Structure 1
Amino acid sequence: MKPPRRIAVAWSGGRDSTALLHATLVAALPLGVEVIALHVHHGLSAHADAWADFCERQTARWSRRWPIRLCVARLEGRPERGESVEGWARKERYRALRRLAMEEGADTVLLAHHRLDQAETVLIQALRGGGVAGLAGMPRQAERDGIRWLRPWLEHDPNAIAAYVRAHRLKHIEDDSNADPRFARNRLRLQVWPAIVQAFPQAATTLADTAAWAQQACACLDEFAAEDLSRMTDRHELLIAPWAAASEARRANALRHWLRARTGVPAPSSLVVRLMAELGRSGQGTWEGEGGRLRAYRGRLRWIARAPGAPMPPLREAIFAVRRAGRHVLPGWGGALLVERVREGGVPLAWLAALELRERSGGEQFQAGFGRPPRSLKKQFQAQAVPAWERDGPLVYSGGHLVFVPGLGLDARVIGLPGQPLVQLSWERKSAG
Structure 2
Amino acid sequence: MRGIVAVATSGGRDSTALLHATAVAAQAQDLQVLALHIHHGLQPDADAWFDHVRTQCERWAVAGLPVRFAGHRLTGRPARGDSIEAWAREARYTALAALARAGGATAVLLAHHRRDQAETFLLQALRGAGVAGLSAMPARVERDGLVWLRPWLDRSRDSIEAYLAQHRLGFIDDGSNTDPRFARNRLRLAVWPALTRAFPDAEVSLGAAARWAQQASRVLDDVAAADLLSCADAGGLRVAAWQALGPDRGANALRLWLRGQVGAAAPASLVARLQGELAGTGPGQWPLGQATLRRYRGRLTCHHARADVESLRRETGLRITRGGRYRLPGWGGELVASRVAEGGVPIAWLAHLDLRARGGGEQFQAGLQRPARSLKKQYQAAGVPEWERDGPLVFSGGQLLFVPGLGIDARVVGLPGQAQLALHWHRLPVTEA
Give your verdict on TM over 0.5. Answer: yes
Note the alpha carbon deviations across 1:146-175, whole angstroms, 9 max, x for none.
111111110111010001000110000001
Q: Residue in 1 aligned with 2:47?
A: 49
| Cα distance in structure 2, aligned partners of 1:94 and 1:223 | 28
Q: Any residues of structure 2 matched to 1:204-243 within 5 Å, and which?
A: 204-235=203-234, 237-243=236-242
Letter in 1 for 2:181: R
Superposed displacement of residue 103, structure 1:
0.8
CA distance in 2, matches of 1:46, 1:30: 39
Q: Which digits, 9 at most, give the CA deviation of each residue in 1:347-385, with x for residues without a partner?
A: xxxxxxxxxxxxxxxxxxxxxxxxxxxxxxx9xxxxxxx
- Which residue matches 1:37? 35
**Structure 1 residue 229 displacement after superposition:** 1.0
Separation of aligned partners in 1, 2:140 and 2:190: 30
Matched, 1:141 2:140: yes
Aligned residue identity for 2:35: A
* 1:261 corresponding residue in structure 2: 260
Secondary structure of 2:230's aligned partner: helix
For residue 116 of structure 1, what is the aligned residue in structure 2?
115
Contact 2:114 2:207 in 1 (8 A): yes
Residue 61 of structure 1: how far off its partner (Å): 0.5
Partner of 1:104: 103
Instruction: Note the C-alpha offset of 1:4.
Output: 7.0
Q: TM-score, normalised by structure 1?
A: 0.69
**Quick one: structure 1 residues 258 and 96, their matched pair in 2 at CA, closer, same or farther if it must change by over 3 Å?**
same
Match of 1:59 in 2: 57
Partners of 2:135 and 2:211 within 8 A in 1: yes
Per the alignment, do residues 127 and 32 of structure 1 end up closer, same or farther by CA in structure 2, a change over 3 Å counting? same
1:404 maps to none
| 8 Å contact from structure 2 (residues 58, 69) kept in 1 | no
8 Å CA contact 1:240–1:301 kept in 2: the answer is yes
Aligned equivalents of 2:225, 2:61: Cα separation in 1: 48
Distance in 2 of aligned mates of 1:233 and 1:81: 39
The yes-or-no answer on 1:10 pairing with 2:3 is no
2:181 match: 182
Q: What 5-or-longer segments of structure 2 have no aligned partner?
A: 310-375, 377-433
Map 1:11-410 onto structure 2 (within 5 A): 11-64=9-62, 65-235=64-234, 237-282=236-281, 284-307=283-306
Secondary structure, aligned partner of 1:72: strand
- Could you tell me how far apart the structure 2 residues matched to 1:156 and 1:89 are? 26
Task: Give a deviation string over 1:312-370, Cα, whole Å, max 9, x none.
Answer: xxxxxxxxxxxxxxxxxxxxxxxxxxxxxxxxxxxxxxxxxxxxxxxxxxxxxxxxxxx
* Change in CA separation of 1:194 and 1:306 when aligned onto 2, cut-off 3 Å: same
Q: What SS does the corresponding residue of 2:229 show, helix, strand or coil?
A: helix
Q: Following TM superposition, by how much is the alpha carbon of 1:281 offset from its aligned partner in structure 2, in angstroms?
A: 3.7
CA distance in 1, matches of 2:236, 2:104: 37
Find the aligned partners of 1:286 and 1:91 in 2 and give their Cα distance: 29
Other structure's SS at 2:16 match? helix
After superposition, the C-alpha distances for 1:52-71 in whole angstroms (9 at most, x for unaligned) are 00011101100111111100
Shift of 1:309: 7.9
C-alpha separation between the residues in 2 aligned to 1:199 and 1:284?
55
CA distance in 2, matches of 1:49, 1:15: 18
Q: Which range moves more in the overlay, 298-307 or 154-163?
A: 298-307
> Residue 188 and residue 263 in structure 1: after superposition, are their counterparts in 2 closer, same or farther (change >3 A)?
same
Q: Structure 2 CA distance, aligned partners of 1:308 and 1:76?
A: 25
Q: Any idea what SS the aligned residue of 2:152 has? A: coil
Q: Distance in 1 between matches of 2:89 and 2:308?
A: 22
Matches of 1:170 and 1:111, distance apart in 2:
18
C-alpha distance in 2 between matches for 1:79 and 1:270: 25
User: Is the Cα contact below 8 Å between 1:240 and 1:283 reproduced in 2?
Assistant: no
8 A Cα contact 2:114 2:203, kept in partner? yes
1:283 to 1:228, Cα distance in 2 relative to 1, 3 A: farther
Q: Deviations over 1:243-289 (max 9, x none)?
A: 01112111001111111110121101111110011112436411112
Q: Secondary structure of 1:275's partner?
A: helix
1:424 maps to none
- Distance in 1 (CA, whole Å) between partners of 2:230 and 2:165 is 57
| RMSD, aligned CA | 1.8
Unaligned runs of 5+ in 1: 311-377, 379-433
Residue-by-residue CA offset, 1:177-230 (whole Å, 9 max, x unaligned) = 101001111111011111111111111111101100000001101101111111
**Once the two structures are aligned, what percentage of the paired residues are identical?**
55
Q: Partners in 1 of 2:283 and 2:200 — Cα distance?
A: 52
Rounded Cα–Cα distance in structure 2 between residues aligned with 1:195 and 1:283: 55
2:171 alignment partner, SS class: coil
Q: Work out the CA distance in 2 between the residues paired with 1:55 and 1:283.
A: 60
